[in-house]
Amino acid sequence: MKGTPANTAGAVTAVRRALEAAGRPSDALATVLLNEATPVISGLAMETITETIITESTMIGHNPDTPGGEGLGVGTTVGLDGLDVVEPGEPVVVVVPAGADFDDVAHLLNRAVQSGADVVAAVMHGDDAVLVVNRLEHRVPVVDEVSAVDRVPLGMLAAVEVAPHGRTIRTLSDSYGLASTFGLDPDQTRQVSPVARALSGNRSAVVVRTPAGDVTDRRIPVGTLTLSGSGRSLDVGVDTGAAAIMEAIGRVAPLDDVHGEAGTHVGGMLANVRDTMTDVTGQPASEIRIRDVLAVDTLVPAVVSGGLAGEVSRENAVALAAMVRTSRSRMQAVADAISEELGCETIIGGVEGEVAVRGALTTPGTSVPIAIIDMGGGSTDAALLDRDGAVSAVHVAGAGELVTKLIDSELGLEDREAAESVKRHPLAKVESFFHIRHEDGTVQFFTEALPPHVFAKVVTVTPEGLAAVPVRTSLEEVRRVRREAKRRVFVVNALRALAQVAPQGSLRLLGSVVLLGGSALDFEIPGMVADALAPHGVVCGIGNVHGTEGPRNAVAAGLVDAYAGTTAGPAPEKLQDQVAS
Amino acid sequence: MSSPLSGVSAVSASGGPGCHGRIDRADDPALPPAVLVAVHDDAPPGVLREVCAGAEELGIPTAILPDSPAGADDGGRLAASESRLEVGVGIGPDGDVVVRHALVPEPVLRLAGGGPASRVRGAGADAARIVAGLALLG
């Protein structure tokens, strides 16, 4: 972590590489300049705050790829082995257990129909619905891939609906459709309306009428955050959502400290952040204050409890990023260690925000007042140099790591590397063994066949080649999730941080805004931030230190320029001219 | 259920209703586009049934070539090159399965003989998934 002695080895490596790149021997080095860095530690937590529960096997609401047949069948559930004793003319829905062969099933159903049974639909375990329906003399709707088919209750009234290709079901996803199907009174209809909602958008569904069957949405209590600031303290339930949390933070701003309820994810995360800072600085945990929190609403796919076919519903969750910084500087220890390692003088030459602004000001086209935004992994930093030469700086919680976490959970990837790849690289869809369609719609042809493991997949286009994204959703959905995550973290934080350093909190008074750091190299974040700032009349762009270095090395360039004075290049002159004017 | 199409004989019922059965020649214009299957005479009959079922579940038709080279890979190559959908499946004498695309030099999928029926069904499904432009199962 920057600003701590553990950082020494990294600093020494960077200096040696710079010397190597410049073709200079290490004994030619006279002075190393260090900036005063603020150690910042951040933490992330996510709490799912709603859950969907199916009680008493009331419905099967998953979406198998290939259901069979079409239409709506309503009848009493009966096992495959119970077909022989079915009353002729009584409509039945056949429940087919695991391991049944499609030819045998079709044969048994055809035989039952020949002996007078009124088979109106079937529910089965295997992925055989189309195969069975193709062999039936009277085609009926069949829903397959029901993994817990053995838990479908027998002897109950059930309805099976399969929509035509390209359509979604109409009856079982409609409250009055369910009422008509099962003969429900107004009170019962009100009770089953969550079932209808849970099924909407599916191509197939099964609803079983059981005495106490229901689908409920439940809010999970996940503890409270205690926010202190402005001389008062406020409790806010995490399950109230991000908007309520951020509104509460606004009411106690500026934030002095935050505590989370013990035994919850959020409480654990905040305690962990404090402990890490204690380890790094030696400062007692009681003195460490959480100075900023960013809460973001998100939707995470979760397996429905009580579901019979691995049904997944999108549940509400709140993601929280917290940030702690310390004023206890250990820079002198770092400077001493570097001096010893490299055998040269080391000077602590300025505060990070100030020198970064100075470096950013070497970007052609910028002028004072100038603000910088440095979007890192854990925190987003902003600093402003005003016309009087005064610099103000701020760190806010939430940056790249939170974006990765949101992408990971919203797409249900459970694979941090894949989420990181989605964040960093544009998407494409592999449309054949020889061509892909990029997310902007353009097509790229390949002369050699693409490997089968990426065929028809949504992929990230990385410098190392195409990497499959392990999702079943469309490219458009993955892109939407990626851009929304970046907007809710980077754009929201850029505006939040700039508002804290802007004169009178007004973004209109900012002048130039320069984006620095790794995220400024991202393929879409600079454009998204610039779009968000455009209505405020702010010129915003990617830093280009000294006109050649791009958005990196602003701090190093600022340090060297300040030390070397006006002889180092155009930048300090420009700074002085502009500050003077 | 036999296919009403010309050039199609009903000799092979084992392919099921999604299969046009054994065809006399692949370039018959009356034959709808299909994933072609080249099956060795000594191949276990269950393998052909599962391959065709895998494709049928996805709604992609199959047809069986009149004769087959000795090995699954050569069979798959011949079937793919003859198929108007450019996808073919070869079934070898030991029940090994190779799925090929006419324009791709390497097999898309290879399956050793004697595996579980579900894997063989999966190979037929993957042949259909290439045609349908769906990600492969494995």
HEC-encoded secondary structure of A528-566: HHHHHHHHHCCEEEECCHHHCCCCCCHHHHHHHHHHHHH
Cβ-based contacts of A134 with chain B (< 8 Å): 1, 16-18, 56
Select from A101, A136, A143, A433 the residue whose CB has the most chain B CBs within 10 Å, as the one to mutate to test that interface: A433
Point out the residue among B56, B57, B109 whose CB comes nearest to the CB of A452.
B109
Contact A543, A370 (CB under 8 A): no
Location of structure tokens 């994933």: B35
Q: Confirm whether B95 is domain-assigned.
A: yes
Averaged over B90-107, what is the pLDDT? 97
Tell me the nearest-neighbour CA distance from A103 into chain B, angstroms. 9
Give the integer Cα–Cα distance in Å for A38 and A396.
Answer: 13
Copy the structure tokens of residue A215. Answer: 């689908």
Q: Any chain B CB within 8 A of the CB of A99? A: no
**A449 vs B105: CB contact, 8 Å cut-off?**
yes
The confidence score (pLDDT) of residue B6 equals 33
Point out the residue among B18, B104, B134 whose CB comes nearest to the CB of A134.
B18
The confidence score (pLDDT) of residue A70 equals 96
Contact A428, A439 (CB under 8 A): yes
Tell me the nearest-neighbour CA distance from B44 into chain A, angstroms. 18
Cβ-based contacts of B134 with chain A (< 8 Å): 456
The confidence score (pLDDT) of residue A328 equals 62
Q: Any chain A CB within 8 A of the CB of B103? A: yes
Copy the structure tokens of residue B77. Answer: 């190559």
Give the integer Cα–Cα distance in Å for B21 and B17.
Answer: 9
Tell me the nearest-neighbour CA distance from B45 into chain A, angstroms. 15
Copy the structure tokens of residue A318. Answer: 């709140």
Nearest CA in chain B to A455: B135
Cβ-based contacts of A470 with chain B (< 8 Å): none
Cβ-based contacts of A101 with chain B (< 8 Å): none
Cβ-based contacts of A436 with chain B (< 8 Å): none
Tell me the nearest-neighbour CA distance from A406 into chain B, angstroms. 25
Tell me the nearest-neighbour CA distance from B136 into chain A, angstroms. 7
Q: Any chain A CB within 8 A of the CB of B131? A: no
Render pLDDT for A406-456 as a digit per residue (tens, 0 to 9): 999 999 999 999 999 999 999 999 999 999 999 999 999 999 999 999 999
Q: Any chain A CB within 8 A of the CB of B136? A: yes
pLDDT band with cut points at 50, 70 and 90 for residue B29: confident
What is the total count of domains within chain B?
A: 1
- Residues linked to residue A311 through DSSP beta bridges, in sequence order: none
Give the integer Cα–Cα distance in Å for B88 and B51.
Answer: 11
Q: What is the ipTM of this complex?
A: 0.89
Residue A514 CB neighbour total at 10 angstroms:
28
Point out the residue among A128, A134, A455 whose CB comes nearest to the CB of B17.
A134
Location of structure tokens 């079934």: B91
Q: Confirm whether B9 is domain-assigned.
A: no
**B101 vs A433: CB contact, 8 Å cut-off?**
yes
Q: Confirm whether B2 is domain-assigned.
A: no
Q: Confirm whether B38 is domain-assigned.
A: yes
Cβ-based contacts of B129 with chain A (< 8 Å): 456
**B106 vs A449: CB contact, 8 Å cut-off?**
yes
Q: Any chain A CB within 8 A of the CB of B116? A: no
pLDDT band with cut points at 50, 70 and 90 for residue B20: confident
Q: What is the CATH number of the domain that holds B45?
A: 3.40.50.10150
Q: Confirm whether B61 is domain-assigned.
A: yes
Tell me the nearest-neighbour CA distance from A433 into chain B, angstroms. 7
Render pLDDT for A491-528 as a digit per residue (tens, 0 to 9): 999 999 999 999 988 999 888 999 998 889 999 999 99
Q: Any chain B CB within 8 A of the CB of A98? A: no
Q: Any chain A CB within 8 A of the CB of B17? A: yes
* Containing structural domain, residue B112: 19-131
Tell me the nearest-neighbour CA distance from B133 into chain A, angstroms. 6
Nearest CA in chain A to B103: A449
Question: What is the CB-side half-sphere exposure of residue A103 using CA atoms within 13 A?
Answer: 10
The amino acid that residue A348 corresponds to is: I
Cβ-based contacts of B1 with chain A (< 8 Å): 134-135
- Are β-strands A232-237 and A512-516 bridged in parallel, bridged antiparallel, or unpaired? unpaired
Mean pLDDT of all residues belonging to chain B: 88
Cβ-based contacts of B106 with chain A (< 8 Å): 449
Render pLDDT for A142-162 as a digit per residue (tens, 0 to 9): 999 999 999 999 999 999 999
Cβ-based contacts of B18 with chain A (< 8 Å): 131, 134
Q: How many CB pairs under 8 A join A and B?
A: 49
- Cβ neighbours of residue A11 under 8 Å, at least 6 residues apart? A34, A334, A338
* CA of residue A457 relative to chain centroid, distance: 20
- Cβ neighbours of residue A516 under 8 Å, at least 6 residues apart? A356, A360, A372, A373, A374, A543, A551, A552, A554
The confidence score (pLDDT) of residue A327 equals 65
Give the integer Cα–Cα distance in Å for A332 and A255.
Answer: 29
Query: Mean pLDDT per 10-residue run, chain A (581 residues)?
Result: 80 90 86 83 84 84 92 97 92 96 96 96 96 97 95 94 96 96 92 88 92 78 90 92 92 90 85 84 82 92 88 90 77 88 86 88 92 89 91 91 94 95 98 97 97 97 96 96 96 94 91 90 95 94 93 89 63 48 48
**A455 vs B109: CB contact, 8 Å cut-off?**
no
- Residues linked to residue A385 through DSSP beta bridges, in sequence order: A370, A391
Tell me the nearest-neighbour CA distance from B101 into chain A, angstroms. 9
Residues 118-177 of A with CB under 8 A from B: 127-131, 134-135
The confidence score (pLDDT) of residue A325 equals 76
Tell me the nearest-neighbour CA distance from B47 into chain A, angstroms. 14
Q: Confirm whether B137 is domain-assigned.
A: no
The confidence score (pLDDT) of residue B2 equals 37
Give the integer Cα–Cα distance in Å for A488 and A528.
Answer: 11
Render pLDDT for A21-56 as a digit per residue (tens, 0 to 9): 989 888 888 889 988 877 778 888 888 888 888 887
Q: Confirm whether B92 is domain-assigned.
A: yes
Q: Confirm whether B122 is domain-assigned.
A: yes
Three-state SS annotation for A187-251: HHHHHHHHHHHHHCCCCEEEEEECCCCEEEEEECCCCEEEEEECCEEEEEEHHHCHHHHHHHHHH
Peptide bond into B66 cis (omega under 30): no
